[in-house]
Amino acid sequence: MKQDERGYVLILVLVTMAALAVLSLAAIQVNLATNKQTNLRVDETQLDTDVKGVLDVLVADLRATFPLHDANVVQPYMENEQLFQSKVETVLKQDTLYAGTRQSGDNDIRYSITRSTADQANAPFTTVLTLTATGTTKAKPEQPMQTSSYSQEVYVTALPSFLYYVLGSDDTLTVNGPPKIEGNLFAGTRLSLERDAKYQLKDQINTLNNSASSRFYLDGRIDLGNGATCDGCETPNYFTNSTTPGVNHEPEIGPVESSFSNFNYDYSVVQYVNRFMGSLADIPYNSNPADEIFAKSNITRTNEPFIEQIYRPVNSNKPELLKTNLIDQGKLDAITGMQIVRLHPEAIANYTGKDGISIVISKSIASKTTPLLLDGDVTIDSLNEITISRPLIINGDLTIRGKVAFNTTVYALGDTYIDGADLLPATAGGNDSSLVLLSKGKILLNRINEFQNTSSTLQAFMYSASTEPTRLYAVGSIINMKGGLYSKGPLEVNTFRGTFKSLPEQANKQASFAPGNVDAYAEVDKSRLVMEYNEGVFRQITTLPVTNQLQLFVGQQLKQ
């Protein structure tokens, strides 16, 4: 009996040992599988890190190839479009093995730099590159080979930075009063914010108080230049991004994310002309554009496209058929190439107006890509709406009055006066047409909807290269701008949120600002300065200006 019991015990022990052995083997297998999966996850994470690190290296190499530099330097590849495209060709790569140090020793990475399908051949000094990096793990026992691929788009462009902002200055940007702004702001050295507005009557500067509960409506961010400060950004209850009264908002404020490049006006106008020089010698970049283009160049000159009228010349009693300073639409549109248009001597000799003589455009100008070079002051003025769809380069001051629709770029080498004008899109209700105005001198916006409570439209991007202060007053006036305003020098914006009661026409202007005649409001829809960024300007890419430095806009890294 004891022998049988010992046998049962032995069998039980053997069965137990067998069961434990099976469990141990299973545990070992599970542990091995877990370790294998852990190793695979570690390898996959490291592979992704290596691949994305190589893309970072490629972007850094592009920044080194197209660096920001002294604003007055013109790199050889920025002298013309052909040299720029040749420079781009030097960075293109196809399925190249990465031999740097940004990947671990267990991974091999190959990369390509190609032109993106989004690249536009007609975009001046602009290309879109697609960076692709693909990594594979090296073979290991009992582990499958892993692959990871990421891509990233990089925009390389000489389009000026100001086209990306609705309001900005290379210097100090001052905003006195609560506007309504949809878009981004830029301040190069300092941003200053105050709730109350300033206005000027004759030589006297006065203050108009806004509602204490009014808020700066901003749907966008505030970019600051290196070392720039903001006075007023920390004021409580100052910003909103809602039309509902009392809603607070803290906008994104900080250093500019992209490689910001200042605008070189002289380079830009010379490069624009050089696009169309053909067999003629290019205008040099290190010179005075007005002198080189309008006085020294071999560009064809004409004084023919002017209306002729019968009138009596100065110091004569006999009427004659003489040239005037009024542009003849048909003759002007017949000029297909780039020519310099200047006033006829007899128009100058017989001019009797009280203001200085200027070239007057009162009819539409047909669409052409080649610019017209107008030598002298220019006034664009019409009782009826006209359309300007051809680039203009003006060697003098520019004045715009009336209703004018634009779909082009205008350079004014003097000052610019927007005098009670409506600046409209060339297509009704369209966002893809706009005036891009580049003024070497000051820009003055004058008498726009003065003391009225309804607004007209200014669809334009305006840039002033003057280092003198530019001032915008939307206090008695209402300014509704779809585009942007940017100044190389200080830019001061003053705006009121409220309404004015009607007064007789003969009333003194100071009476309009009397306490009983002014109603201040907190509601955003009572803003007298409304600015909205218009990205549709980039659809007129062929006529946009460029500067002498390239910016890189880097997209997100996307896993393939």
How far is 380 from 388, CA to CA, in rounded Å? 10
Report the 3 state secondary structure along 264-286: CHHHHHHHHHHCCCCCCCCCCCC
Give me the half-sphere count of Cα atoms (radius 13 Å) on the Cβ side of residue 77: 16
DSSP 8-state class, residue 243: S
**Residue range 97-125: average pLDDT?**
85
Q: Could you tell me the CA-to-CA distances from 508 to 328, 461, 478, 511, 516 in Å, in that order? A: 41, 34, 19, 5, 14
Which of 85-99, 135-149, 455-469 has the lowest average pLDDT? Answer: 135-149
How far is 256 from 490, CA to CA, in rounded Å? 18
Give me the half-sphere count of Cα atoms (radius 13 Å) on the Cβ side of residue 210: 29
Identify the band that residue 127 occupies on the pLDDT scale cut at 50, 70 and 90. Answer: very high
Which of 188-197, 220-229, 463-472, 545-554 has the lowest average pLDDT? Answer: 545-554
Chain-centroid distance of CA 132 in Å reads 28
How high is the pLDDT of residue 217?
98
Instruction: Flag whether pLDDT at 135 surpasses 80.
Output: yes
Under 8 Å between Cβ of 54 and 102: yes
Whole-number mean pLDDT of the chain? 88
Residue linked to tokens 């992704």: 48
How high is the pLDDT of residue 33?
47
In terms of Cβ atoms closer than 10 Å to its own Cβ (0-12, 13-18, 19+), residue 194 is middle
Give alpha helix (H) positions in 354-396.
none
**Residue range 429-458: average pLDDT?**
80
Q: Which helix (H) or strand (E) holds 331?
A: helix 329-333
How high is the pLDDT of residue 7?
53
The count of other CB atoms within 10 Å of the CB of residue 445 is 22
How high is the pLDDT of residue 368?
93
Cβ-proximal residues to 533 (8 Å cutoff; 6+ apart), any chain: 165, 166, 182, 183, 184, 220, 483, 484
Identify the band that residue 339 occupies on the pLDDT scale cut at 50, 70 and 90. Answer: very high
Global model pTM greater than 0.95: no
How high is the pLDDT of residue 142?
65
How high is the pLDDT of residue 32?
45
**Residue range 65-73: average pLDDT?**
87
pLDDT, greater one: 256 or 80: 80
Model pLDDT for residues 513-539, shown as the tens digit of each residue: 888 899 999 999 999 999 999 988 888
Instruction: Flag whether pLDDT at 477 surpasses 90.
Output: no
How high is the pLDDT of residue 266?
96
**Residue range 457-476: average pLDDT?**
92
3-state secondary structure of 114: strand
How high is the pLDDT of residue 293?
97
How far is 27 from 403, CA to CA, in rounded Å? 84
Beta bridge partners, 372, equal 392
Instruction: Flag whether pLDDT at 11 surpasses 80.
Output: no
Instruction: Flag whether pLDDT at 259 surpasses 90.
Output: no
Q: Which two tokens stand for residue 60?
A: 């850094």
Which of 33-37, 163-167, 184-188, 473-477 has the lowest average pLDDT? Answer: 33-37
Beta bridge partners, 432, equal none
How high is the pLDDT of residue 448?
73
Under 8 Å between Cβ of 475 and 197: yes
Q: Which two tokens stand for residue 106?
A: 């267990």
pLDDT, greater one: 385 or 8: 385
Which of 150-159, 335-344, 346-355 has the lowest average pLDDT? Answer: 346-355
Under 8 Å between Cβ of 273 and 293: yes
What residue type is 273 in one-letter code?
A: V
Under 8 Å between Cβ of 358 and 379: yes
**Residue range 53-76: average pLDDT?**
91
Report the 3 state secondary structure along 164-231: HCCEEECCEEEEECCCEEECCEEECCEEEEECCEEEEECCEEEEECCCCCCCEEEECCEEECCCCEEE
**Residue range 474-497: average pLDDT?**
94
Model pLDDT for residues 298-331, shown as the tens digit of each residue: 999 999 999 999 888 877 778 888 899 999 999 9
β 107-115/126-137 pair status: antiparallel
Query: By percentage, how much of the chain surpasses pLDDT 90?
Result: 62
How far is 465 from 445, CA to CA, in rounded Å? 16
Under 8 Å between Cβ of 374 and 393: yes
Q: Where are the domains of the chain?
A: 2-159+555-559, 162-544
Model pLDDT for residues 429-438, shown as the tens digit of each residue: 566 778 999 9
How high is the pLDDT of residue 284?
94
β 422-425/392-394 pair status: unpaired
pLDDT, greater one: 138 or 522: 522
Q: What is the dihedral sign for C-alpha 438, 444, 448, 451?
A: positive
Instruction: Flag whether pLDDT at 36 surpasses 50.
Output: no
Cβ-proximal residues to 516 (8 Å cutoff; 6+ apart), any chain: 501
